Every structure is written in structure tokens, then in C-alpha cells.
Amino acid sequence: MFLYKIDEQLSLKQPELNDSERIFELTENARDYMKEWLPWLDFTQTADDTREFIKGTMKGYAENRSMTTVILYKGEIVGTAGFNSINWSNKTAYIGYWLGYEYQGNGIMTRVARALTDYAFNHLKLNKVEIRAAKGNRKSRSIPERIGFVEEGTIRQAEWLYDHYVDHVVYGVLAEEWESSSI
């Protein structure tokens, strides 16, 4: 099982089936807030739905296509983050994340995104990491901006969110930029 310690407060670990109740609880508590930006909430109505999601993440990890983790903050699951997909041909990973509403504003996701980027370059030996966020989602967009990603452009109508399309802003950082930065 994957376990990655970021600092004294934060770790990332591969989700297990017995984590489904906690992840679903976080989803329920932030459902209205997250629905503004995340398209999968209508497909997550029960803890069993979350269990199926975890099974899918385990399969993606076993097949080396993705790496979804739960975020442990002071030993408690507070959200998920990871590589939604890894393109081995192009040596690129695509980071995705969400955090329980009550845990936002503590710098958690900034530290997690930085750690995932380090992991992509230093352990997986990838060349590029991308983060995409809805154009209007300033909180999510501030994370790659804060840790030195470059805004590469906007994909128009990139995602359908329940009743409308949203544009995505694409951020990227290359291994050579990350290594030479003081981030």
C-alpha cells in the first residue's frame, strides 16, 4: 500500500475500502459547496458508491494509470488528491484534488500539491505535471499559481457541470523548471 509522509501533520495514503464511510461523510458535508465545481457528486449518493470509487482507484493504481490518495491531516482523512491520470508516453501526470470544507484555509492542499509534484518528478521521473481548474474557481486556481506552475491556457467549455459548461484553466510545470526553482 502507498503511504507518503509530507510533514508532521500531513500524509497521503492509498484509500482502502474501510475508508469509504469517512470519505462519503466528507462528501456529504461538502456536497452543496463542491457541486459548484465537481461533476461526480450526483454519482456519489451512498457509501457503497464511494466504495466503488475506491475499487476503481485501486485498479487504476495496480494498472499504473493513476494514483488517488486520501489526505491524512493530523491522522484524519480530510479529502483526496492524486494523479487522476498518468500519461507514461508523454511522461505527464494530471493532479486532481478536493478537500472537506471545514479543512480549507490551512494550507493543506498547497502542501499536498507541492508534495505530489515533487513525487511525480523525483520518484516517477515524469517530465510534466498539470493541474486544471474551472476558470471561476479562484481557490483551486490559487494552488498551482502559489507553487510556481505556469498558466498555459484555457480550454473552453471543458466540462459539463450538471446544467452548464465551465472553461478550464490549464497550469503546468516541467521537471527542469521545478528542479531549478526555490519552491
Percent of the chain with pLDDT over 70: 98
Please report whether residue 177 resides in a domain.
no
CA distance linking residue 110 with residue 151, whole number of Å:
16
Task: Please check whether residue 149 is in contact with residue 93, taking contact to mean a CB–CB distance below 8 angstroms.
Answer: no
Please report whether residue 158 resides in a domain.
no
- Render pLDDT for 113-125 as a digit per residue (tens, 0 to 9): 999 999 999 999 9
Task: Please check whether residue 128 is in contact with residue 175, taking contact to mean a CB–CB distance below 8 angstroms.
Answer: yes
What's the average model confidence in pLDDT over 136-156?
Answer: 97
For residue 121, give its domain range: 3-129
Task: Please check whether residue 104 is in contact with residue 29, taking contact to mean a CB–CB distance below 8 angstroms.
Answer: no
Residue 52 is predicted with a pLDDT of: 94
Count of domains for the chain: 1
Q: Is the pLDDT of residue 8 over 90?
A: yes
Specify the CATH number for the domain of residue 121. 3.40.630.30
CA distance linking residue 155 with residue 166, whole number of Å:
9
Please report whether residue 176 resides in a domain.
no
Q: Is the pLDDT of residue 138 over 90?
A: yes
Alpha-carbon Rg of the chain, whole angstroms? 16
| Mean per-residue pLDDT of the chain | 93
Q: Is the pTM of this model over 0.75?
A: yes
Q: Which residues contact 123 (CB under 8 A, 6 or more apart)?
A: none
How far are the Cα atoms of 31, 89, 107 from residue 65, in angstroms, in the given order? 27, 11, 28
Q: Say if residue 161 is exposed, middle or buried (CB neighbours under 10 Å; 0-12, 13-18, 19+).
A: middle
Residue 32 is predicted with a pLDDT of: 83
Q: What is the DSSP string of 28-40?
A: HHHHHHHTTT-TT
What's the average model confidence in pLDDT over 29-33?
Answer: 84
Residue 126 is predicted with a pLDDT of: 98
Please report whether residue 146 resides in a domain.
no
Least confident window among 38-47, 64-73, 137-146: 38-47
Residue 182 is predicted with a pLDDT of: 46
Closest by Cα among 172, 171, 173, 168 to 157: 168
Q: How confident is the model at residue 180 (pLDDT cuts 50, 70, 90)?
A: low
Please report whether residue 12 resides in a domain.
yes
